[in-house]
Structure formats: C-alpha cells, structure tokens
C-alpha cells in the first residue's frame, strides 16, 4: 500500500477544514474522569439558550465508549462563543435514559459547569461557559 | 396526568423565579427575634451549629436497670436558620442523628448532621434555599433529583453496621452506626434509584420489613429481607392522591390510611399543594401482603393524622390499629411554623388516641379515647400481632405545643397510666424495649429523651412499662441541649 497516497487525501481534507474554520476557533474537551467503566456516555453541545432549552438541535453530539476506556471527547474548531453541555451515562447501553417507576432518572446525568437545576434541568445561565482556544469541561455524572 | 412527587417538584420550578419573597422576609424576621420574645419551649427548636462529639451523660436520677444494653438512635431537624434565609417549618431543618448508647450502667450521647446535598448547598450559600414540606425555598436551590432536597431528618432504621436516616420523599441515607458519619444514599435496586422510602418502616414477625413510598395517586410497596436487601418492590395505584406520612401493617396486610388532605395543585412547598376536604372522608386501603393486587377499601369519617400504631388481625379477620388523630391539619400547616418561630400559639387541638376496627363485612369504625397522645409505639415482639398496649407522648395542651409526659394506654382494659414531668420538659418519642428473656407485653422499658428547659440540657429516661406512673427508673443528663427530634429506633 502506498502510504503517501493514503495520507494525501486526509491532508487535503485537513487543509480544507483549516481553511473553512473561522479565524477564532475553540477546541472543546469534555471529560468525565470519574465515570464508571461501563456503557456509553451521550454528550450534546449547544450553542444557544434556545437550542439548549429544546427548541433546536445541538451543535455537536458524541457518544463515548466508556466501557472501552473512552472518558473524554474533544470537539475541534468550534466557533468561539458560549456553549452548554448536557450529558447522560447510558449505563446499560440501551440508548435510553432509564427512569424509575415514578419517572425519575436512574442513570447518571450532568450539565456543564457541573451545574444543578432547580427542580428540572440546569438552566442555560447555570450551565453556559465561554469556549475560546483550548477549553475543558470536566463533568461528574450523578 | 398522574401527579407524582417529581411533577410537583418540576411544576414548582416556575415559582422559584422570585428572588425576594415574603417567605424570606419572614425567615429573616425569625432569625432576628430577640431571645426575650421566645416562648419557654423555644429551646426545643433551637439550631445546633456543629456535630456533638460523644460525651458521657451524668446519672441524675435512679440507676440503670440490670440487663439494659444498647443504643437509641434518633433523628430530627437541628438547623433551621441561616443569615440568607431560613427554614420556616419544623419538618424542614437539617437532619441530625443522635446516638444514646447505654452500656454497663453508663450512658453516652453523640450527634452528627447528615451530610446531605441540601446541607452542603445551604452551608455554601449561608441560606436555606431548598423547598420542603412547608418551606418555600428560593431560586438559588440546586435540585437535580429529589435526593438533592432530602433533609434526612425524620426517622432511622438499623441496617447492619449502618443506620439509615429516613426522610419522606427520597432515598434512605446510610450513616455509619459507630460514628454517624454519612456514607451514601441507598439504592435498593438500580431501576428503583430515588424512589421514596418513607420514615415509618414496619417490622414483620418473620423479621422482614415493609415500607411505602407515595407519589400522588400511586405508591411503591417495599419489602426488605431481614438483612435489609430488597425482596420485592411493587407500584400500586391508590384511590386518591393523599398526604401519607405513615402506614401500618398486620402480619398479613399492608394498610394505607388515605386522609382527606389531598394533592389539589402542583405547588411547592408540599403543604401549598394540599387541600383539606374532610367531606371526602378517610379511606383505608388494605392490601394482602402475599398478593398486593388483592385489596379492600374501607370508609370512615374524615380525620387528620400523622402516626399510626402497629396493626393486628384477629381470628375472624377483624383488623385493628390505633391512630393519633386530630380534627384537621392545622398543626401540619401552621403549628409547625410556630415551632420554628419559637413563639406564638399553635392552632387546633392536640391529637387524641383512637382505635380503628375494620370488620370482615366491610364496615369500619373508629372509637376515640379521651387520651391526648402522639408518637404511638408498641411492643416490637408483637409487631403485626395482637397486642393491647400503646406507649405514647402525652401532656400537650391546647395552645402550647409539644408533649410534657409519657403514658401507656391499655386498649383491653381502657386504662391509661401516665407520668407528667411538667412544662419544664419537652418529652420526645420513647421506644419500647423488651426486657431480656421476658415475653409479657408489660415486661419492657420505655426509653426516650426530653429537653429539660429549666436546666437547658437534653436528658435520657428509662421507664418501666409496668409502672410508668412511678416516673423514670433512670435519668441521665447531657451537658448540652439538642432540639427535640422526631423518631428513633432501639438497637439492642
């Protein structure tokens, strides 16, 4: 196999991404250092209060294979700005956030800034953070 | 939509937008009340600022009975007031676990706060912000789940080398039995995390434990093995969404008493969403322990209660149990606020003991005694089985809160025996402790504390059930006064 030939398109793609990226770009790392090594963590990154509140889509999503040891994810090249993260730990890997018979979540979840809500999800005000350059959010799922 | 505790919590989110509320003003006022305006009983709801290291209590009366060894664990609120906002209801203070240990004729006392998320948040903010049973809270609350509001302040059960601090709307909080340090919230099964586990587990003759957790129109019925692992948990529908602090059980039945204090609106605090509708009467739901789908429903005229006595079933199927009943929930709404204010008049009449009889033909009746009483306790050797004695606090009078004595009522003879300390003592729930090797119902001690208002000290008393009226056989005094607690359990 011709290594140079294999790498060339990737380099080209990387160059294209570099050109396409805004002048100021953030590399956001979301880490879950204390997550139990089982199942998967669903991460959603939002770039506006409206989207975070459910009116629109997340800017980025990822699924971390915690069972295989993946406890962080980096979203490269985000435009600088305010973001908030919602995450939940799908312990049993069924793709759903399981609840108890009274409807309360039984799988760990968390928000950026480790913000806690007030009888509901953490508000944008509590969860938002500014991303610029290399930015890390270390989150404890509870 | 079926109302649930969560939906109550979630529905209240909108309320939390207010920043300065009348509640906060009231809390600030409570904090600033000068000592001179406090009632003589205000020591019973004072704040404790920190944990109390184990201390030897001083024997001030009598002597410890031979053969009495063990620990009385008791739970109750012990911190209400903070500069940035205070709990305004007796049920919403931070839980503090007390351990009175009796060994070799000596008694010790130690007490430690349950290290809850609520207490951590409020310590950091220097303000009580978490909504509760009667405290509104404010926008600074951090509640991602019901256990973030868990005050762990109501009762306690022993579980191996742990004691579990119990609340009403969330999980048991495991503490070390040896030093009362906080371990973790107990999840009895992964899929049941956060389900409410109420403060009055009932112990069955086979050593297993039954409990309930209610959420509006449904309840989870817990059944634990003697080692406190989960045997079963089932959700049952209820005929009404009623406020339920306690339940009772015979050896064969789980009995839910559904008073006409019902969830009418989604509001916080809990009391704000409840409506008193005595015309609805009180419903009594009897479930068969062997098959919870087998149920019978009885009807009685409406009454208010917090606490029930252990139930028993007679040979013909008749079920009986006692209750500390009152005419309305004014104490729960307003009286418990007066207690935290530390002055004022508690509205309504103190609860009286009554005996409820459920007959095989579907009829129910309720016979009131003239006995003022709360915190009913009975012989643990007879839990779920026929008995005749109920021990209880006594002496509360109209207008002045909190009990001043202890009594034992005999349902067979109709006779009551009481000991009255006088108004300089606030008497707390006493537990029924069988004498070693004895079997008769009166062969037991009653063990419980009081707050000696005159001396400003907490005391621990041992009574002989057969001779209550003679007063304590032993009394020890601590060098501190802890506020009055709610419920305890004896570990022999």
Segment B271-286 mean pLDDT = 98
More confident residue, B145 or B1: B145
Write out chain A residues lying below 8 Å of B131, CB-based: 119
- For residue B31 the two structure tokens come to 């904090």
CB contact under 8 A, B142 and A101: no
Write out chain A residues lying below 8 Å of B6, CB-based: 102-104
The answer to whether residue A18 sits within a structural domain is no
Please name the residues between 179 and 218 in chain B that touch chain A, using a CB distance below 8 Å.
190-196, 215, 218
CATH number at A131 reads: 2.60.40
Q: Does A125 touch chain B (CB under 8 A)?
A: no
For an interface test with B, which of A98, A100, A108 has the most B Cβ atoms less than 10 Å from its Cβ? A100
β-partners of residue B450 are B427, B459
More confident residue, A13 or B359: B359
- Assess whether pLDDT exceeds 50 at residue A88: yes
d(CA B156, CA B162) in angstroms, rounded, equals: 10
CB contact under 8 A, B195 and A120: no
Residue A24 pLDDT grade (very low, low, confident, very high; cuts 50, 70, 90)? confident
Predicted confidence at residue B36, as pLDDT, reads 54
The answer to whether residue A81 sits within a structural domain is yes
Residue A23 pLDDT grade (very low, low, confident, very high; cuts 50, 70, 90)? low
Predicted confidence at residue B26, as pLDDT, reads 56
d(CA B390, CA B153) in angstroms, rounded, equals: 24
Provide the strand spans (E) within B186-334.
202-203, 209-215, 218-224, 230-237, 248-249, 253-258, 261-263, 274-276, 282-288, 291-300, 304-308, 312-313, 319-326
Q: Which of B490, B417, B380, B481 is nearest to B69 (CA)?
A: B490
* Domain coordinates in residue numbering, chain B: 5-491
- Assess whether pLDDT exceeds 90 at residue B212: yes
The answer to whether residue A59 sits within a structural domain is yes
Distances in Å between the Cα of B480 and the Cα atoms of B65, B224, B270, B293, B297 are 24, 37, 33, 50, 48
- Assess whether pLDDT exceeds 50 at residue B1: no
pLDDT tens column, A96-117:
999 999 999 999 999 999 999 9
Please name the residues between 73 and 112 in chain A that touch chain B, using a CB distance below 8 Å.
91, 98, 100-106, 109
> Which one of 2.60.40.10, 2.60.120.260, 2.130.10.10, 3.40.50.2000 gives the CATH number of domain B5-491?
2.130.10.10
> Residues of chain B with pLDDT > 90: what percent?
91
ipTM of the complex as predicted = 0.87
Segment A40-69 mean pLDDT = 96
- Assess whether pLDDT exceeds 70 at residue A19: no
The answer to whether residue A118 sits within a structural domain is yes
pLDDT tens column, B480-490:
999 999 999 99
- Assess whether pLDDT exceeds 90 at residue B167: yes
Predicted confidence at residue B19, as pLDDT, reads 41
Rounded to the nearest angstrom, the minimum Cα separation between B70 and chain A is: 37
Q: B281, B301 in Cβ contact below 8 A?
A: yes
Q: Does B220 touch chain A (CB under 8 A)?
A: yes
- Assess whether pLDDT exceeds 70 at residue A18: no
- Assess whether pLDDT exceeds 90 at residue B462: yes
Distances in Å between the Cα of B74 and the Cα atoms of B80, B84, B95, B199, B420 are 18, 29, 10, 12, 22
Segment B265-274 mean pLDDT = 94
Q: What are the two backbone dihedrals, phi and then psi, of residue B340, each rounded to the nearest 5 degrees?
A: -75, -30
β-partners of residue B408 are B391, B417
Rounded to the nearest angstrom, the minimum Cα separation between A39 and chain B is: 14
Q: B214, B196 in Cβ contact below 8 A?
A: yes
**Pick from B140, B195, B268: CB nearest A100:** B195
* Ramachandran area for residue B453 (φ above 0: left; ψ -120 to 50: alpha; else beta): alpha
d(CA B212, CA B283) in angstroms, rounded, equals: 17
A 10 A CB-CB count for B339 gives: 26
pLDDT tens column, B380-402:
999 999 999 999 999 999 989 99
The count of structural domains within chain A is: 1
- For residue A44 the two structure tokens come to 């959603």
- Assess whether pLDDT exceeds 90 at residue B211: yes
Write out chain B residues lying below 8 Å of A106, CB-based: 190-194
**Pick from B13, B143, B190: CB nearest A116:** B143
Q: Distance from first CA to last CA of chain B, Å, rounded?
A: 46
The answer to whether residue A37 sits within a structural domain is yes
The answer to whether residue A3 sits within a structural domain is no
Residue A62 pLDDT grade (very low, low, confident, very high; cuts 50, 70, 90)? very high
CB contact under 8 A, B145 and A117: no
Q: In what order do the strands lie in the sheet with A134-138?
A: A72-79, A25-31, A134-138
pLDDT tens column, B25-58:
455 555 555 455 899 999 999 999 999 999 999 9
- Assess whether pLDDT exceeds 50 at residue B63: yes
Helix (H, G, I), strand (E, B) or coil at A22: coil
For an interface test with B, which of A118, A126, A127, A142 has the most B Cβ atoms less than 10 Å from its Cβ? A118
> What is chain B's mean pLDDT, rounded?
93
Predicted confidence at residue B149, as pLDDT, reads 98
d(CA B191, CA B214) in angstroms, rounded, equals: 17
- Strands A134-138 and A25-31 turn out to be parallel
DSSP state of B11: H
**Pick from B6, B141, B148: CB nearest A102:** B6
CB contact under 8 A, B4 and A119: no
Q: Which of B312, B322, B316 is nearest to B384 (CA)?
A: B312
């Amino acid at each position: 196999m011709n290594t140079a030939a294999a790498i060339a398109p990737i380099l080209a793609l990387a160059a294209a991404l570099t050109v396409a990226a805004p002048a100021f770009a953030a590399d956001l790392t979301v880490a879950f250092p204390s997550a139990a090594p089982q199942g998967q963590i669903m991460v959603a990154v939002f770039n506006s209060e409206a989207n975070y509140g459910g009116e629109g889509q997340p800017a980025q999503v990822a699924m971390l294979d915690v069972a295989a040891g993946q406890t962080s994810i980096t979203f490269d090249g985000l435009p600088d700005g305010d973001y908030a993260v919602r995450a939940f730990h799908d312990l049993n890997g069924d793709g759903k956030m399981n609840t108890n018979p009274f409807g309360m979540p039984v799988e760990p979840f968390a928000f950026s800034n480790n913000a806690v809500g007030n009888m509901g999800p953490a508000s944008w005000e509590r969860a938002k953070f500014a991303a610029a350059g290399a930015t890390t959010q270390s989150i404890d799922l509870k | 939509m079926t109302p649930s505790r969560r939906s109550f919590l979630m529905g209240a989110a909108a309320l939390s937008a207010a920043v300065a509320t009348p509640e906060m003003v009231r809390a600030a006022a409570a904090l600033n009340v000068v000592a001179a305006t406090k009632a003589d009983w205000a020591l019973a709801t004072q704040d404790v600022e920190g944990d109390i290291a184990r201390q030897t209590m001083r024997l001030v009366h009598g002597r410890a009975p031979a053969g009495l060894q063990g620990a009385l664990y008791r739970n109750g609120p012990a911190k209400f007031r903070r500069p940035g906002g205070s709990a305004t209801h007796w049920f919403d203070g931070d839980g503090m676990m007390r351990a009175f240990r009796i060994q070799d004729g000596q008694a010790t006392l130690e007490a430690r706060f349950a290290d809850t998320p609520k207490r951590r948040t409020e310590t950091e903010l220097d303000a009580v912000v978490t909504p509760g049973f009667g405290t509104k809270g404010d926008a600074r609350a951090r509640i991602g789940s019901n256990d973030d509001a868990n005050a762990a302040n109501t009762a306690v059960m022993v579980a191996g080398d742990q004691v579990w601090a119990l609340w009403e709307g969330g999980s048991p909080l495991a503490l070390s039995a040896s030093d009362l340090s906080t371990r973790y919230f107990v999840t009895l099964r992964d899929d049941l995390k956060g389900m409410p586990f109420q403060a009055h587990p009932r112990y069955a003759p086979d050593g297993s434990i039954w409990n309930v957790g209610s959420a509006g129109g449904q309840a989870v019925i817990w059944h634990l093995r003697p080692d406190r692992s989960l045997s079963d948990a089932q959700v049952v529908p209820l005929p009404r969404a009623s406020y339920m602090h306690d339940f009772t059980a015979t050896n064969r039945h789980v009995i839910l008493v559904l008073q006409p204090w019902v969830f009418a609106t989604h509001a916080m605090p809990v009391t704000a969403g409840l409506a008193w509708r005595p015309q609805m009467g009180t419903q009594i739901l009897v479930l068969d322990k062997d098959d919870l789908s087998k149920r019978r429903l009885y009807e009685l005229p409406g009454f208010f209660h917090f606490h029930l006595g252990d139930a028993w079933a007679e040979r013909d199927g008749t079920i009986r149990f006692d209750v500390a009943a009152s005419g309305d929930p004014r104490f729960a709404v307003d009286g418990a606020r007066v207690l935290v204010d530390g002055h004022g008049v508690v509205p309504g009449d103190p609860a009286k003991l009554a005996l409820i009889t459920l007959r095989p033909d579907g009829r129910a009746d309720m016979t009131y005694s003239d006995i003022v009483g709360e915190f009913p306790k009975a012989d643990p050797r007879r839990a779920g089985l026929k008995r005749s004695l109920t021990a209880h606090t006594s002496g509360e009078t109209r207008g002045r809160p909190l009990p001043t004595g202890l009594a034992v009522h005999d349902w067979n003879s109709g006779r009551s025996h009481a000991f009255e300390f006088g108004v300089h003592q606030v008497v707390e729930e006493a537990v029924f402790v069988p004498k070693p090797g004895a079997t008769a119902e009166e062969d037991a001690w009653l063990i419980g504390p009081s707050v000696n208002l005159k001396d400003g000290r907490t005391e621990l008393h041992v009574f002989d059930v057969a001779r209550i009226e003679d007063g304590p056989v032993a009394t020890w005094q601590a060098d501190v006064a802890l506020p009055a607690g709610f419920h305890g359990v004896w570990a022999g």
